[in-house]
Amino acid sequence: MNFLLRKILDGVMPSTPTRPDFNNKRLVVLGATGRLGGILRKQWKTDAVRWQARIERDGFHRVDILNDPKALRDLCSGADAVLCLAGVTRGNPAALQHNTDLARAAITAANGARVFLASSAAVYGAGGKDLRETDAVTPLSPYGQAKLAMEQAALSSGAPVTCLRIGNVAGADAILGGWHSEMALDTDAEGRTPRRSYIGPQAFARTLAHVLATDTPPPVLNIAAPGLVEMGALLDAAALPWHATAPTRPVIWDVGLNTDALALLAPFAPQDSTAAGIAAEWHHARDPQ
């Protein structure tokens, strides 16, 4: 196993024969100052990854992705893979269009290296229990529509691209990451709360390491632990109080990402799919002691 992947995985998983081989791949992470980037920096305990930021920060390479193409090319020079986490989550159509602009800039700078683009489960729109990468999708939100437009532009470029449809990452989500003392969850007539595909921060970092190690990943890939987790159960497992509320508008009760394709690339343990296991990872990521 090469130096880079060994250092990454030493921080996120025990010794196991299922560890991937990164084949000496060098990695650049764009948009590394967001929540997902923060999780990866904490879990990938290595200085072998180049991390990008828009402003001067210790441990980061300062590059304006959209306005300094030369600096971006220099940053990505020699990289075997580029992970683009940079994106816009809200705003008017012009602002959301930057998701496509950022993807195109990353693809150009990668100069033939594979680019892994952070997309979202939001592209699946009204949801479902077994959403596959090959399903026809109709995003409902402007954000989901912008991410789908980004995917389509990237995949039509002819460059080696993998669009990562990322589910809820514990700590970077609206439930654990956005928890507050007045947290309310929609509840159905039987007392159940919405269910989502989740993944803990350690499992997320480990899974991405496996995916990035793959020589020929698919063009679109769901990223989540197998199965569905109730939001209420997750808050209960994390010992965070919440109260039930009757829905006042239509609710998307299930957004379940099919992980059959991912399972061919990355291993999961049973606890990775449980509310208790995900909450434990979240607590550990917040306080490693």
Which domains can be identified in the chain, with CATH numbers?
Answer: 3-169+199-225 (3.40.50.720)
Determine the pLDDT at residue 286. Answer: 86
Is the pLDDT confidence value at 3 over 90?
Answer: no
Is the pLDDT confidence value at 99 over 50?
Answer: yes
Under the banding of pLDDT at 50, 70 and 90, the label for residue 17 is very low
Under the banding of pLDDT at 50, 70 and 90, the label for residue 12 is very low
Is the pLDDT confidence value at 15 over 90?
Answer: no
User: How many alpha carbons fall within 13 Å on the CB side of residue 165?
Assistant: 30
Is the pLDDT confidence value at 183 over 70?
Answer: yes
Determine the pLDDT at residue 175. Answer: 94
Instruction: Tell me the pTM.
Output: 0.91
In percent, the amount of the chain with pLDDT more than 70 equals: 91
Q: What is d(CA 119, CA 147) in angstroms, rounded to the nearest whole number? A: 6
Determine the pLDDT at residue 24. Answer: 59
Give the chain's end-to-end CA distance (angstroms, integer).
29
Is the pLDDT confidence value at 41 over 90?
Answer: yes
Q: How far, CA to CA in Å, does 124 sit from each of 98, 121, 134, 251?
A: 20, 6, 11, 14
Is the pLDDT confidence value at 215 over 80?
Answer: yes
- Over residues 65-74, mean pLDDT: 98
pLDDT tens digit string along 256-275? 999 999 999 999 999 999 99
Q: How far, CA to CA in Å, does 214 sit from each of 11, 25, 183, 207, 209?
A: 20, 10, 40, 11, 9
pLDDT tens digit string along 119-149? 999 999 998 999 999 999 999 999 999 999 9
Determine the pLDDT at residue 45. Answer: 75
Determine the pLDDT at residue 288. Answer: 64
Is the pLDDT confidence value at 14 over 70?
Answer: no
- Over residues 189-205, mean pLDDT: 96
> What CA dihedral angle connects 84, 103, 75 and 39, to 10 degrees?
-10
Angle ∠(275,38,161) on CA atoms, nearest 5:
90
What interhelical angle do 275-286 and 201-213 show, nearest 10? 90
Is the pLDDT confidence value at 22 over 80?
Answer: no
